[in-house]
Amino acid sequence: SYWTLQLINSGRYEQRQDFAVVIQPFFRNTLLPLDSTSKPDMSFFAADCSHFSVRGYAEMAMALWNNMLEPVGEKQTYNNFTHDRSKLRCPNPEKPFLFTRRNSGFGNSDVNLENTESSVPYWAVIVTAVAGVLVGSLLGWVVSRRRTKKHQRKAGTENNIKTTPLLFSAVTQSGRTKNLLDMNEASGFAQGFLCQTTLISNVF
């Protein structure tokens, strides 16, 4: 993308001798390979038509290798998809290395290569790591706390559900006992009333 190209050209990755970022444009202007009937050659693609087949990956690998052996600014931007092993290049005896912007003559050649240490202080890394551990521990404690409360509420609800039938049963039993007592009292009162009525009738 445009922003990736701007980032690479900014010189950010040219401060070290053991690291570099290089765009290999071998697929930029590539055309769809055609067969003898001028139709797309599907032998370069897998069954899903979205990925390369073994033959297609072999062509891509050769194009990438050739691009790495070409100086920046002179790299081939297409792949002709021809089954020709002779197009696989060998390193130049005069320049037997992979080309980057620096060894291709681009960038600031006066950059001090000895000053390659990171601009981030070492203590900042330690502080960040400790802060990350603390934040992670805090989040773990909060999650554990919430789970514990949730389980406690669930257990309390289950206990209430189990206790309610027992209380209802106890109330029902007590209600039945009271009703039985009331019935006994009423029966005794009725018997006493009948006895008194009988005595009075005998007197008269």
Span 10-57, pLDDT tens digits: 878 888 888 888 889 998 888 888 888 989 899 999 999 889 999 999
> What is the average per-residue pLDDT within 107-122?
45
What is the structure's pLDDT at 116? 36
* Whether 72 contacts 104, CB under 8 Å: yes
Cα 182 to Cα 6, 173, 185: the distances in Å are 99, 14, 5
What is the structure's pLDDT at 101? 81
Does any domain span residue 182?
no
Does any domain span residue 94?
yes
Q: Pick the residue with more confidence: 112 or 144?
A: 144
What is the structure's pLDDT at 53? 93
CB burial of 4-31 (b: ≥16 within 10 Å; e: otherwise) equals eeeebeeeebbbeeeebebebbbeeebe
Tens-digit pLDDT profile for residues 165-181: 554 454 455 555 555 54
Mapping DSSP onto H, E and C, the string for the chain reads: CHHHHHHHHCCCCCCCCCCCCCCCCCCCCCCCCECCCCCECHHHECCCCCCECHHHHHHHHHHHHHHHCCCCCCCCCCCCCCCCHHHCCCCECCECCCCCCCCCCCCCCCCCCCCCCCCCCHHHHHHHHHHHHHHHHHHHHHHHHHHHHHHHHHHHHHHHHHHHHHHHHHHHHHHHHHHHHHHHHHHHHHHHHHHHHHHHHHHC
What is the structure's pLDDT at 35? 87
Checking if the pLDDT of 121 tops 70, the result is: no
Categorise residue 55: left if φ over 0, alpha if ψ from -120 to 50, beta otherwise.
alpha
Number of domains making up the chain: 1
Indicate the pLDDT class of residue 142, thresholds 50, 70 and 90.
confident
Does any domain span residue 42?
yes
Domain of 64? 1-110
Indicate the pLDDT class of residue 63, thresholds 50, 70 and 90.
very high
Does any domain span residue 65?
yes
Does any domain span residue 162?
no
Does any domain span residue 19?
yes
Please give the model's pTM, rounded to 2 decimal places.
0.48
Q: Read off the tokens for 37.
A: 């009937």
Does any domain span residue 57?
yes
> What is the average per-residue pLDDT within 146-169?
70
- Cα separation of the two ends of the chain: 127
Q: For the chain, what's the residue count?
A: 204
Does any domain span residue 67?
yes
Tens-digit pLDDT profile for residues 73-114: 889 998 888 877 788 889 989 888 888 888 888 765 443 434
